Structure 1
Amino acid sequence: MLAYPLNLTGLCRCCASSKPKLLLCIGFVIAVIFFSYDTLKRKMPTPIRCSNSASEYFLYELCGNYTKRLASGSLCHPLCTGQVTYKQCLGHGITPHVLKASWKGTNIILKVKTVLDKNLPLNSSLMKSKQFDRNYFNINANLSYIKHILDEKRIVNMETLDYMFSECAGYENGVLSYQKMWYCQALLAREFLLSVLLKDSLNVPKLYGTCGHVFAVEDAPDAILGGRFFDYRPWDTKVKLALAFLDMVERLDNTTYGTLYICDFKFANFGVLSVDSGYLVKPIDMDMAWLPSQMKRVMVKESARWCSKDSDCRVAACLSKCNQWTHHCDPDFYTNNLINTCRWIFTNAKAFRYGLFDQGVPQKIQRHLSNLLKICSTPSDEPSPPTSTSMVKDLRQVLHKSIGITFDG
């Protein structure tokens, strides 16, 4: 959106009067657009960028710690013996490092989340235990600590605990070094835990293993998403992408632990893999993804915020409402994954960027699809709204019909 209002009618008349004025007007418009873009860019947070040399040195240090037995994990041996090949560093605004590498002929993504406090908050009874000294933790104490963290996050699952134990296993004498425990703490980041808990979901990137505070997941490129000003993607491609998003919504609504709510809805946070049936969409950044109990806690925390309007009450794409009597946000949310998919993926017209259905919709379905998307993208009047199965069915039907496929429900 431009920073200054323009009288387009007057501007066009001015430009049409003479060639010099036309050139002057064009220069003025370009200057305004550039200034507006520059102003917006300055207000946006600068992403953390990393160089290849810094990334390679980081991996060198990690393997040094592995050699010294200060880092462990199933990925350490292949990473530090040349089986994993570093390819490039990917810039990111929150995560300190996101690196692309190759392993067994497949691209993988190495992620490093913010390391937790080095001073482990062990309880006093453990500190006084004979199993504890200044440099080591007993494995049983280590498991107790991990379970404590999982309880705090309201994620209690023996399979997860077993996974953490295998990844952060101690030495043969049954102890785990302080430094090694520090690395294992970092593995308790939300995205790592969700990758473990939801490892059986088709729409969650596969977890390949860990080394210290690094974990590796499959690479799901996002290049096919996000239409630009000139959107050359065929209609068939757009339809298959949309159907893949609807499949993702349904699967994330029905995980073993309930719905996985994605709140950071933007093209860059989703990757796409080609499959026999079309495409498979996966969230590739789950820093703002929550299971039901976690989502509730996040919204309750947000309810303490002062507000004057509904738009003040939001966690990224997940919206709440402002109570006009108390001027505090409602401790609930009024969007779900389907609503956010319609709001931010299917329709999201911005300067030089478009949603899947902002351009190139066949005329025969324009009105029908537009009406569906208008309803689909509207936040609910009810808290914690379930996904509308009828809306998913209607969207699938009109999309299948547009490419000549009979929809059987």
Structure 2
Amino acid sequence: MRLQRRQLIKAAILLFILVIVVYVFYHGPRKILRIPERCTDEQSYEMLQHLCDLYSRNKVDGNLCPSLCQKSTLKYKSCLYFGRGKKVLLFELTDDDVIFKSKHSELDNYYHIVFQVEQDGKTVTQVPDPEMFLDMVYNTMSLAFDVDREDDRTEMVKKMWTKEVQSVDAMTVAEKESLWSLLQQDEYLLMKYFDDRHLPKIFGSCGHFYAMEYVPTGALLNPSIFSLKENLDAAPWLNRARLALGFLDLIANLDTGYGQVMHLCDVKNDNFGVRHDFSVVAIDVDMAFLEKHMQGTLKQPNCTTNEECDFFDCLGNCDFEVKQCLRHRKDNNLQAVCRKIFMARHGLPGLLRYPPHEISEEVEKLLTECVAPSDVKQLATETEVYKKLYQLLSDSLNKQLS
């Protein structure tokens, strides 16, 4: 009896360790462990104090600088992530949680608009005049997006800055310096320029940091293995079907909502937020590329296999005759979501796990078809698998609600 009990205990411990290993492999260690030497309150306070020092010396500006540095209405709560070029903090702003982030912790890590030159043996500080600054902003925007040459450059500055702009002539050096640092951050560019429901809303900025809407991944998409409640909440098919439709709506918006297809190349649960209405938000768009940039990213030389042309979750093709990667993506956003979100992977169940018995075979068939290798020549929303999957989930949802 004692031997059997010891064997059962050992088996339970081994099973627990196996679950932890699989979970960490799938979600990353930061989901379970906070790494203090890279993400501490002390480090965060020091960084924020330096930011407020810059503000007090008129080196930076932004609509949220007074709230952060004077009124204390923008309140620090915790450090979420330091590393890989990101500084991500959780703040409270008028009773709502927001994300406060920057690509770099220090302003000096960005290119400055203020520079010093030697003239006649003296060091002279130079600042771009209003016309040059307008050109700098326009050129940045035109490289990132399909900006019309006839667009009003001043209106573009007003759109991208977080404070009211009467004229560029009236902007201070601190305002220009701060805006210029923000325009060097791809996430800020996308979210501020498009101001789209499938991207977090930008609330404002201070210096090179900006505050954006906090949309957590949530238990439905990413339940903790330590929480029975979260796993029970994530179990019902009704909510998971709603969330899957939310992903399909996101995919449709990625196809048509930005003037050209936007490709998500880092597709995992942690990179999506879920609102109360089950709409899905792309909360991490560091690896999001509009079509014209995607082609440049994929077209790399010297390949001997298709896999060498993959860019994370955006799959590529190799032209074996010339041994170069082709410019166009082999798969699409729908296929990436099917692979990484809907289907089971690494031993963990996917979002569309255990559908109702009457549609289980059809769901499995559509997901298998979705992830099948193919050279996609049409938008994801134009494919038969997208239409069938959307209709199947909608019908199932309606039946559950009736």
TM over 0.5: yes
Give the superposition deviation at 1:388. 2.9
Residue by residue over 1:83-114, the C-alpha shift from the partner in whole angstroms, topping out at 9 and shown as x without a partner, is 11111110254243111111122111111013
Partner of 2:210: 215
User: What stretches of structure 2 of length at least 5 have no aligned partner?
Assistant: none
In the alignment, the residues of structure 1 paired with residue 64 and residue 362 of structure 2 have an alpha-carbon distance, to the nearest angstrom, of 50
Partner of 1:163: 159
Aligned-residue sequence identity (percent) comes to 26
In the alignment, the residues of structure 1 paired with residue 395 and residue 366 of structure 2 have an alpha-carbon distance, to the nearest angstrom, of 15
In the alignment, the residues of structure 1 paired with residue 13 and residue 162 of structure 2 have an alpha-carbon distance, to the nearest angstrom, of 64
> Number of matched residues?
374
TM-score, normalised via structure 1 length: 0.78
Residue by residue over 1:382-407, the C-alpha shift from the partner in whole angstroms, topping out at 9 and shown as x without a partner, is 45754335433311222233344399
Partner of 1:293: 292
Partner of 2:43: 54
Partner of 2:84: 94
Partner of 2:186: 190
Give the superposition deviation at 1:323. 2.6
Cα–Cα, structure 1 residues 28 and 244, in superposed 2: closer, same or farther, change >3 Å? closer
Q: 5 Å matches for 1:78-93? A: 78-80=67-69, 81-93=71-83
Question: Is the Cα contact below 8 Å between 1:205 and 1:220 reproduced in 2?
Answer: yes
Question: Is the Cα contact below 8 Å between 2:271 and 2:283 reproduced in 1?
Answer: yes
Q: 5 Å matches for 1:250-329? A: 250-275=252-277, 279-300=278-299, 303-304=300-301, 306-329=302-325
Partner of 1:65: 54
Give the superposition deviation at 1:38. 12
In the alignment, the residues of structure 2 paired with residue 37 and residue 239 of structure 1 have an alpha-carbon distance, to the nearest angstrom, of 25
In the alignment, the residues of structure 1 paired with residue 212 and residue 16 of structure 2 have an alpha-carbon distance, to the nearest angstrom, of 44
Question: Is the Cα contact below 8 Å between 2:251 and 2:380 reproduced in 1?
Answer: no
Question: Is the Cα contact below 8 Å between 2:200 and 2:281 reproduced in 1?
Answer: yes
> Does the alignment pair 1:109 with 2:96?
no
Cα–Cα, structure 1 residues 76 and 382, in superposed 2: closer, same or farther, change >3 Å? same
> Does the alignment pair 1:360 with 2:332?
no
In the alignment, the residues of structure 1 paired with residue 378 and residue 176 of structure 2 have an alpha-carbon distance, to the nearest angstrom, of 38
Residue by residue over 1:253-278, the C-alpha shift from the partner in whole angstroms, topping out at 9 and shown as x without a partner, is 21142222111100000001102xxx
Partner amino acid for 2:245? Answer: L
Partner amino acid for 2:296? Answer: R
Mean CA deviation greater in 218-227 or 24-33? 24-33
Give the aligned CA root-mean-square deviation in angstroms: 3.9
Residue by residue over 1:293-316, the C-alpha shift from the partner in whole angstroms, topping out at 9 and shown as x without a partner, is 12222222xx22x33322222111
Aligned counterpart in structure 1 of residue 375 of structure 2, from 359, 373, 381: 381
Q: Counterpart of 2:78 in 1: which secondary structure?
A: strand
Partner amino acid for 2:92? Answer: S
Partner amino acid for 1:272? Answer: V
> Does the alignment pair 1:146 with 2:137?
yes
Question: Is the Cα contact below 8 Å between 1:111 and 1:214 reproduced in 2?
Answer: yes
Q: Counterpart of 1:108 in 2: which secondary structure?
A: strand
Aligned counterpart in structure 2 of residue 402 of structure 1, from 381, 385, 396: 396
> Does the alignment pair 1:330 with 2:330?
no
Q: Counterpart of 2:256 in 1: which secondary structure?
A: coil
Q: Counterpart of 1:315 in 2: which secondary structure?
A: coil
TM-score, normalised via structure 2 length: 0.79
Question: Is the Cα contact below 8 Å between 1:91 and 1:98 reproduced in 2?
Answer: yes
In the alignment, the residues of structure 2 paired with residue 50 and residue 168 of structure 1 have an alpha-carbon distance, to the nearest angstrom, of 34
Partner of 2:201: 206
Q: Counterpart of 1:354 in 2: which secondary structure?
A: coil
Cα–Cα, structure 1 residues 389 and 24, in superposed 2: closer, same or farther, change >3 Å? closer
Q: Where does structure 1 differ by over 6 angstroms across 4 or more consecutive aligned residues?
A: 27-32, 34-41, 43-48, 168-173
Q: Counterpart of 2:204 in 1: which secondary structure?
A: strand
Cα–Cα, structure 1 residues 325 and 171, in superposed 2: closer, same or farther, change >3 Å? closer
Partner amino acid for 1:214? Answer: F
Q: Counterpart of 1:309 in 2: which secondary structure?
A: coil
In the alignment, the residues of structure 2 paired with residue 299 and residue 211 of structure 1 have an alpha-carbon distance, to the nearest angstrom, of 35
Q: Counterpart of 2:275 in 1: which secondary structure?
A: strand
In the alignment, the residues of structure 1 paired with residue 360 and residue 324 of structure 2 have an alpha-carbon distance, to the nearest angstrom, of 40
Residue by residue over 1:45-73, the C-alpha shift from the partner in whole angstroms, topping out at 9 and shown as x without a partner, is 99883111211222222122112111111
Cα–Cα, structure 1 residues 181 and 335, in superposed 2: closer, same or farther, change >3 Å? same
Cα–Cα, structure 1 residues 371 and 98, in superposed 2: closer, same or farther, change >3 Å? same
Q: Counterpart of 1:334 in 2: which secondary structure?
A: coil
Q: Counterpart of 2:61 in 1: which secondary structure?
A: coil
